Every structure is written in C-alpha cells, then in structure tokens.
Amino acid sequence: MTYQIVNISSEDDIYFALSTVRHFMKQFPFSESDQQRIYVSVSELTRNILDHACSKGLFYCELIDRGIRFIVTDEGPGILNIDEVLNGKKISSSRGLGLGLSGVKRLMDEFQIETSTRGTKIVAIKWAGKK
C-alpha cells in the first residue's frame, strides 16, 4: 500500500500535500475534472488546518483499490454547528477557495467527518473512473 503523511503547519506544507496527491493520482486513470476536484478538496482541507486549527494537523494520503483516500486530522477547537457548515449555510472564511466543507463533500465520492473540542477528522475518497 502506498501512502504519505504530511504535517500541515505552513503554506509550504499545503503545496507538499498537493504534490503528493499529484504523484499518487498518476497511478489511476482519473479524469481531468476528477483531478481538479481532488486538488480543490485537498487545498480546502489543508487550508482549514492553517485557518481554524492553530496550524496543527496532519494530511494522510493513500492509494486504495481504484481510488485515493485522504484523512485530515487537526487539533483545533472542533466545528460548531456542523450541520449548517456541511449544508453550506455557514459563511466560510474569506481565505481559501470559499467552498468549505460542503464543497469538499460534494466534490468527493465519499466523505466522513468527526469533530469535537479535541479536534476534527475528515476522511474523503475519490474513485477513479466513477461516473
């Protein structure tokens, strides 16, 4: 199994996470649009660590079956009103791409989130060739 862990604590770490994902995506026939969906999702999730979790988090990326999975964990204060956030009703910060977690949920094939006052964990999967 191929995987990479990136400690997210600066802008440079976001670029390293994106570079890792780009390398991994070459293993499967992801369409151009799916590649863009993955890049946007990784950008949003890693940016959230810098903006909302005191720049303390991890980005874990791995190849699975015919897809790519990433797990993002942070040590932030958790997400209040998670239902509003996931439904796009809560206004996101002006930094980042503006899609927020609701955008990532729509862009990826699978999306799970756990949040508490000890931090947040997000698991997202994109399958290659899925219609």
Q: What is the pLDDT of residues 13-56, one digit of tens each?
A: 999 999 999 999 999 999 999 999 999 999 999 999 999 888 89
CB atoms within 10 A of CB 95: 11
CB atoms within 10 A of CB 128: 17
For 52-78, write each residue's pLDDT tens digit. Answer: 888 899 999 999 989 999 999 999 898
88 has a pLDDT exceeding 90: no
Q: What is the C-alpha separation between 112 and 31, in angstroms, rounded?
A: 23
111 has a pLDDT exceeding 60: yes
The model carries a pTM of 0.89
E-state strands within the chain: 3-8, 57-64, 67-74, 110-116, 119-127
The pair of three-digit structure tokens given for residue 21, joined into one six-digit string: 């994902």
